[in-house]
Amino acid sequence: MMATLSRSDWDRTKAGMLLQRAGFGGTPEEVDALAALSPAEAADYLLGPSKPLPTEPPAFLQEVMPKEAIKSRRSMINSLPMEAQRVAKKEVRQYLDATQNRQMTELRGWWLKQMADPARAAREKLTLFLHGHFATSFQKVRSPYLLYTQNSLFREKAYGPWSSLVLEVAQDPAMLIYLDGSKNRAEAPNENFARELFELFLLGEGNYTETDILESARAFTGWTIGGKNKEVGVGLDVGGRPSFINKTKLHDQGTKTIFNETGNFDGADVVRLALAQKSAPRWITQRLWRFYAGWSPPEPLQEELVREWQSVKGEIKPFLLAMWTNPNFYDPVRAADRVKSPSEWLVGLCRQVGGPLPTPALSAFICAQLGQNLFEPPNVKGWDGGIAWINTASLTRRYEYGSWIVNGTHGVQRLAGLNMIKMAGESGLLKIGLPDISPEGVVIAQGVKDIDVEARRVATDRMRQLATCPPAPVDKMTTTEQRQDPEKLFAGLAIRFLPGETIPSDLRQRFQQAAGDKVPLTDVAIRKMLLSIVQSAVYQVT
């Protein structure tokens, strides 16, 4: 068993660190509630029930994609002259792209909303880890529905056995498309999934051989997807709902040798054999520790993590509880090693100021600009995380977007550089339809550029209204006494935004400059003071 933090060593500082690391931060009241519990009780409270709380799914899942309309148009399109066919097919593709982009914006906003719910925060944080660990991208999958179902799989199985989750990921339609598993046939085995399964998902580089990959690719043959429409097979969701199928006629029935064991193995056997390797528990426990704590465990701690993983038989929930109650998790020397990811930064800031998340299109834009476009990791390795989140451009943007959340966007003043037409389309404010074919055989486009000027103006005006962020409600963060004393206000805000941190002298100086000499402090002055914290280097790692 891992060492456990004693009740006497548990305090408000550590409670604040746990709330930030295990979830997305919170209010002083939430920190106080955790501090009043024992370390194990606090961790268990944040983890919540073993089953995820019910939630309303994204609205786009109720949409019926116009496959019949596409079919009817297809015959008409095929009867057109060659140039008209080209134009019509281009318009159909643009319609499908616009529809999928709108649905992806909704999906990203939906997930960020789940993250912002305190009762769901710990499970959503783990879902975020799994999204980066089993990286899958819309750029190749091209199906919001499949990415939603994968996201739901992570959420549903997050607290259970690692072995069960890995097996279900290996059979997940989005993953089968992303790593070409759906193309894996006995006559032409595809190595992509087997290679990434070993290198990135389960074992780490150097803990397998090329033969293991080649033989495992053979074992995975026949694991593919099926759906109502042939287009689904290439990831284009136009109405069907693809699912995993095991086509035995496509499976290589021959003997394979994997990790020095021989048999007529299938995909489930590969997962079983890989998880039995000595490197398997080291790999996942190291990844989990680094994601939550922000630094790689030294060897003695790594050995403890492996022993704990083995003692709980690879059950994720009890392992997290043990990890979050370990004294090393709160090492003050390493406290600033963990950089907030963009989604964590955005959700956490909104929660801490007590304001709403920006509208989905703006939230998605902010996260993407900061380097984390949800459902579109840069490659199969996912995001590097850590200090890679911070560079000159991303830090400048964090400071700018932080000012939007704290001071508000003041209508179009701060949003003037955004493409409101694009955001309006992504938000469903512009009606984008399939192209029509006139009796004379003329293609009648119904894209964004074909919408009349007045409708576009109305949509963009509405988009500006939706994208406008209100100023942070400072009354929720201050008391009358604090308004009379900048030092007391600074102490209060530091507890809220910088739990457990030693305040740098330069930040204290900037805070005092923002406060000025007049008391009681006005809302404007308080927001300036608050912004000095949000735009500090220490806030990015707290």
Question: CA angle, corner 283, sides to 277 and 285, nearest 5?
Answer: 115
pLDDT for the residue numbered 227: 65
Q: Quick one: average pLDDT of 329-351?
A: 93
Beta strands at 443-444 and 256-258: parallel, antiparallel or unpaired = unpaired
Whether the pLDDT of residue 468 is over 90: the answer is yes
pLDDT for the residue numbered 238: 40
Contacts of 106 (CB under 8 A, 6+ apart): 58, 59, 60, 144, 360, 428
pLDDT for the residue numbered 79: 79
How do residues 412-456 score in pLDDT, each as one tens digit? 677 888 999 999 999 999 988 888 888 778 888 888 888 999 999
pLDDT category at 229 given cuts 50, 70, 90 is very low
Q: What percent of the chain has pLDDT over 90?
A: 79
pLDDT for the residue numbered 63: 82
Secondary structure in 3-state letters for 437-450: ECCCCCEECCCHHH
pLDDT for the residue numbered 64: 65
Distance CA 171, CA 400 (A): 42
pLDDT category at 282 given cuts 50, 70, 90 is very high
Q: Which two tokens stand for residue 407?
A: 């001071």
pLDDT for the residue numbered 69: 54
Handedness of CA 383, 387, 391, 395 (dihedral sign): positive
